[in-house]
Every structure is written in structure tokens, then in C-alpha cells.
Amino acid sequence: ITRPTDKKKILFYNDKTAKLDVDEEFVKLWRATAVDAMDDAKIEEYLEKQGIKSMQDHGPRKPIAPKRKKASQKRRQFKKPRDNEHLADVLETYEDNTLTQKGVSIK
């Protein structure tokens, strides 16, 4: 509900599924309490002193997108080629267009 005097929006919770029985004495006390002499600032101040915060509507909000974490860039280390010692007997080298295998020169 928007009040015509100061254009503030007032929210009321009205759950029709909840059926609460309220004591008649409480209803009488509620209706007997006058707040006409108090302005909204005094009422809000009193409620805050009692530890009660008022609900306020500040209009539609834009959804806040969660911040994405940047992927950490890991530096790759240069890996030296390994000597395959278990293949030493199969090793072939090509030098000067000649094939050398196990120390034997093939032309």
C-alpha cells in the first residue's frame, strides 16, 4: 500500500493459510493504542530501540551477478627430453646421410 501523504510504501503480511487465534484482551489493547501523536520517525526510532527493524521497499533491484574468479595462469616448466636407456640397443643415428646402428656403419 502506498500512503498518499508521503508516498511511502507500507508492507503488510497477510497469510490466508495461517489461522491464528488471537486473545481478545490483546485485540482490545492493540485497538486502544493510539499512535496519532507520533510521527513515523519517532515510531521507527522506538522500534529500533526495542530491537525491531522496519521493512522497507526500495523498488525493484537488479540481480547482482556473482563475481567470477580468474583462472590462475600456471607457468609451464620446460621438460628436458629423457634418454630411453631401455631402448639403447635399438638406437639409430643419422649423420652425414649414413645409418649407424650399434656401432656398425651401413651404407
**Rounded alpha-carbon distances, angstroms, from residue 8 to 11, 14, 35, 39, 48:** 10, 19, 17, 13, 18
pLDDT value at position 95? 67
Look at residue 27 and tell me if it is in a domain. Answer: yes
CA-to-CA distance for 85 and 89, rounded, in angstroms? 9
Above 60 in pLDDT, residue 100? no
**Which residues form the domain of 48?**
1-58
Look at residue 67 and tell me if it is in a domain. Answer: no
Look at residue 71 and tell me if it is in a domain. Answer: no
Average confidence score pLDDT of the chain = 74
Look at residue 80 and tell me if it is in a domain. Answer: no
Q: 22-41, pLDDT tens digit by residue? A: 888 988 888 887 777 777 78
Which stretches does DSSP call E strand in 16-103?
92-95, 98-101
Using only C-alpha atoms, the chain has a radius of gyration, in whole angstroms, of 42
Look at residue 51 and tell me if it is in a domain. Answer: yes
The total number of structural domains that make up the chain: 1
Residue 67's pLDDT band, with cuts at 50, 70 and 90, is confident
CA-to-CA distance for 24 and 22, rounded, in angstroms? 6
Q: What single-letter DSSP state applies at residue 87?
A: G
Look at residue 46 and tell me if it is in a domain. Answer: yes
Q: Is the pTM of this model over 0.75?
A: no
pLDDT value at position 101? 54
